[in-house]
Amino acid sequence: MQAGIVEDLGELEDGERQASVGDLESVHAAIAGDRRAFGRLYTGYGPMVRGIVLASIGVVDVADVAQDGFLVALRRLPELREPARFGAWLASIARSRCVDALRRRRTIEPVDEEAWTSGDPPRADALTVLRAIRQLSPSYHETLAMRLVEGMSPVEIAAKTGMTRGSVRVNLHRGLAQLRGILEIEGGNDE
């Protein structure tokens, strides 16, 4: 099984290959019905899913939507055709859950992000950064949320999302440049 998994991983560097080998084993075990293996995936892919959800729906209900995405993934795991692309598959599920959450907010329960800050300056400052990130295009704000909020390295982002490292670098570079411009325009409170 190990040899097949390594062949599936293709052209990854050594560090990424080791991490992804562990993920791929866990994916195969989870497909076979191992709940603890899916728990390892939950821990490993949690920052990626949180970053996607945070960039999409904002700061309210991030944990709920992210956990809901994992539960949906657990139910649909037998439908996963390419275990090596588990990260991209999980990201698409998380995005669809975000769409559902946004639709629910528009129709049923609108949220107030100002209430989340509750007069706390660090939270208000964090909300300013998040709103600046969400003004960027979708391909940038997910990568930036993973990098800036969740603290993931570019290599880790590439390994988890299934994107190439070149794409991740480009997204981060361009996204940071746009973000700097937005934050400077918004009042120069960026040191």
Partner 1 sequence: MSDEAFVRALQRRAMPLRVELAPWDELVADGVEQVAASRAPLISRRVPVAALAFAAGAIATLGWAVLRDRPEEVSPEPAPLQVLAPAPPPVTEVAPARAPTPAPEQTPVVPPVKSELAEPELAKSELAEPELAKSELAGAGGLRAGRGEAEARGVAGGGAPASRRRASPHAMGVPTILRDVQRPRSPPSMRPCPSDSQPPTSRLRSSRSKVRCAPAAPSTESPPRQRWW
DSSP string spanning 26-56?
A: HHHHHHTT-HHHHHHHHHHHHHHHHHHHHHH
Cα distance between residue 45 and residue 161, in whole Å = 9
45 vs 155: CA distance, rounded Å = 14
Of 5 and 30, the one with the shorter C-beta distance to partner 1 is: 30
Nearest-approach distance from CB 159 to partner 1, in angstroms: 19
| Tokens of residue 154, six digits | 């570019």
Q: How far is the CB of 106 from partner 1 (least distance, A)?
A: 22
CB of 71 to partner 1, least distance (A): 4
Which residue number, 82 or 114, has a Cβ lying nearer to partner 1? 114
Residues that bind partner 1 (CB under 8 A): 35, 38-39, 42-43, 46, 50, 54, 59, 62-63, 66-67, 70-71, 74-75, 120, 122-123, 125-130, 147-151, 173, 176, 179-180, 190-191
Q: Which is nearer to partner 1, 48 or 159 (CB)?
A: 48
Give the Cα separation of 143 and 131 in Å (integer): 15
Cβ-based nearer residue to partner 1, 7 or 112: 112
35 vs 103, beta carbon nearer partner 1:
35
Between CA 116 and CA 120, with CA 119 as vertex, the angle to 5 degrees is 85
Whole-number minimum distance, CB 102 to partner 1, in Å?
18
Backbone angles phi, psi at 177, to 5 degrees: -65, -45
Contacts with 14 (C-beta within 8 Å, 6 or more apart), sequence order: none
CB of 156 to partner 1, least distance (A): 14
Torsion sign over Cα 124, 48, 17, 11:
negative
